[in-house]
Structure 1
Amino acid sequence: MGTADAVPGVSGGTVALLLGFYERLVTAIAAITPGRVRTICRGYDPESRSEARGAVDEMDLAFLVPLGLGMVSAVVLVAGAVTALSDSHPVALFGFFVGLIAVSAIVLGRELEFSGPRSIAAGVGGAVLAFGLAGGLTVLDGTGLAVIAFVGAVSMSAMILPGLSGSLLLLLFGQYVYLSGQLTAFVSAIVDVLRGGSLEAVVDPGTTVVVFVFGGFVGVLTIARVVRLALERARAVTLAFLVGLIAGSVRAPVVEAGAHVDGWTAATVGPLLGWAVIGGALVFAVDRLVGGFSPE
């Protein structure tokens, strides 16, 4: 799930669906409440220990904790790779993302029925919004803590929705490469500290990571519930908007790639399209394995 969530166009929720624990994941996240957290924190008291164990079971922490550790490990590894490739092979990296995103929109879109005017309008609206954001319609300051908290909330809330990638939203907001670099710098600084280095190098990237995680935690517990409610009340319209958002986001990696080249020539367009084909083929392969993506 962590690897999927760290790559634009591929959803960690889809992996959970594929491996058969999606319902358990959603149920466990929904069970996280301030009351249960307080009960667990009182577990040091022998009289409250049985209630604390009950809260641990209700939140299914025996499942969530190892899952979370695995996801964090994967995200750290992928972030390091993205940071290196964005400097050394940007056309290949973002071309690969183009294929992932474009084909994700295709395989998800064919599962929907754009029959009514509301669904069609929602799909077109999502595509136009994403296309505009990818082209710089909204410029987000990558160093602002409020912005980092916001994108953390939005992207992490997408984690539990099959078909919608949180890293895709980061790419759409222009934060993907920046945050990957900050995470890589934070991990490197921690390793240096363990080797006797200074703590000063940890502060800046560490602050960014902590704020992002805090925003993500809030997003998972709140925004995700809002999206799930929208799916329950207006499923067709909401899914059409989400798929439209994915389709319009194809522009984002193209813009990112363009920022790393001196104009579009045959020497740059060719590799971009070649890696897009590889990324698209990967999504088609996963789609085949799953037996058809469902964005529910």
Structure 2
Amino acid sequence: MAGDTQQATGTALGDTLTSWLSIYLKGIAMGTADSIPGVSGGTIAFITGIYERLITAITSVDPAAATLLLGITSGRGRQRLADRLIEMDVPFLVVLGTGVVTAVVAVSRFVYLALQEAPGATFAFFFGLIAASAIVLYEQLSLATPGRIAAAATGFVLAFLVSGVTAGADGIHALPVVFVAGSIAIVAMILPGVSGAFFLVLLGQYEYLTGTLTAFVDGIIAAAVGDRAVGSLLDPATTVVTFVAGAVVGLFTVAHAIRWALDHYRAATLSFLVSLMVGALRLPVIEMRDATATLSPESIAPLLLATVVGGGAVLVLDRYTDDLSY
């Protein structure tokens, strides 16, 4: 009898570990998508079947629960805190978030290197991703009212103007700008179809932030093995923390505002967002032009190939998610 109980407990523990591993891997998939302009982590959450749970968990988080930390000195207080965290599904958010961060750190390093070594082809790849995403989302639109047309026109003009300013420029990377970028980029986890990395590209922060994250991780490794002083991490660490703080604030402000807009003015909101993506295509075009010294079949061919690969990736993804509603 005791052996049966022990076996049942072991099986339950195995099931729990398997479940958490599954959530972690889904977080990696989301983080990979969140790191690439044009692909939405929210879409990956839909595909993997955790979107509703994610939204429910985010909206269930209550800052007032922090008051329970005052009672952690007693066993009863710790139990109350644990019960409240489980009730809000915080363990799910932590495991999923760990997977997202793992992927973001790995993928951002690769993308940053690609931007340094082959900026033209990389931005051509981004162009394909963003253009295909706009095409996919366009199927959801209906510009049947003046309000929707106005929303679409506003989104296009806004993105066209902003992308003209940020393309080819060093950009402003002050901490308040990084904070705002983080609060806007977090929408990728909330809104299927729209990429948070896309907004970073539009705001001229993408290459800077991927480079800063890469430098931060390299600095941590170097400090751990004694090759660099911990103090040298201050600048990249400050930027990373500021971005994360913006993302946290955005999770409970910008993301909720967008969800409200979708619930009440879905067609107009989608019209604005899709047109925003179309207008922003100006930026990768400028970057491709600046990175191409001369126009010739030899220089254009890699750009066309990268564009096709990027667009094809989104279209293939959409092909297997036809039953999902953005």
TM normalised by structure 2 equals 0.85
Query: Which residue in 2 is equivalent to 1:190?
Result: 220
For the structure 1 residues 45 and 289, does the alpha-carbon distance in structure 2 shift closer, same or farther, using more than 3 Å as the test? same
The answer to whether residue 92 in structure 2 is matched with residue 63 in structure 1 is: yes
Unaligned runs of 5+ residues in structure 1 are none
Residue 252 of structure 1 and its aligned partner are, at CA, apart by: 2.0
How far did residue 239 of structure 1 move?
A: 1.2
Q: Highest CA radius of gyration, 1 or 2?
A: 2
Aligned with residue 243 of structure 1, among 274, 283, 288: 274
8 Å Cα contact 1:9-1:101 kept in structure 2? yes
Would you say the 8 A contact 2:57–2:89 is kept in 1? yes
Going from structure 1 to structure 2, the CA distance change for 1:143 and 1:11 (only over 3 Å counts) comes to same
The residue type equivalent to 1:177 in the other structure is E
2:231 paired with 1:200: yes
Letter in 2 for 1:169: F
Which residue identity lines up with residue 284 of structure 1 in the other structure?
L
**Equivalence map 1:30-69=2 (5 Å):** 30-40=59-69, 42-69=71-98
Q: Given the alignment of the two structures, is residue 27 of structure 1 paired with residue 27 of structure 2, yes or no? A: no
Q: Which amino acid aligns with 1:25?
A: L
SS at the partner of 1:234? helix
Which residue of structure 2 aligns with residue 230 of structure 1? 261
Q: Residue by residue, what CA displacement relative to the aligned partner does 1:211-237 show, whole Å, maximum 9, x if unpaired?
A: 000011100111111111111121111
Preserved CA contact (<8 Å) 1:141 1:147: no
Residue equivalent to 1:254: 285
| 8 A contact 1:158–1:164 mirrored in 2 | yes
Query: Number of paired residues?
Result: 295
Q: Over the residues paired in the alignment, what is the CA RMSD in angstroms?
A: 1.9
Corresponding residue of 2:111: 82
Identity among equivalent positions (%) equals 43
Paired letter, 1:45: S
- The residue that corresponds to 2:9 in the other structure is none
Match of 1:142 among 149, 172, 192: 172
Tell me how far 1:293 sits from its aligned partner: 5.5
1:262 Cα deviation from its structure 2 partner: 2.7
Name the CA distance, whole Å, in 1 between partners of 2:111 and 2:246. Answer: 22
Matched, 1:159 2:189: yes
Amino acid at match of 2:61: I
- TM-score, length basis structure 1: 0.94
Aligned counterpart in structure 2 of residue 15 of structure 1, from 44, 64, 74: 44
> Secondary structure of 1:135's partner?
helix
Counterpart CA distance in 2 for 1:83 and 1:231 is: 33
| Maintained 8 Å contact 1:17/1:162 | yes
Paired with 1:215 and 1:265, the residues of 2 have a C-alpha distance of 43
CA distance in 2, matches of 1:216, 1:238: 21
- Whole-angstrom CA distance in 1 between matches of 2:237 and 2:191: 28
* Counterpart check, 1:214 vs 2:248: no
Kindly indicate whether residue 158 of structure 2 is the aligned counterpart of residue 129 of structure 1.
yes
User: How far is 1:44 from its partner?
Assistant: 3.9
Where structure 2 has 5 or more consecutive residues not aligned to the other structure, the ranges are 1-29
**Cα offset, 1:115, TM superposition:** 1.5
CA distance in structure 1 between the partners assigned to 2:245 and 2:100 by the alignment: 16
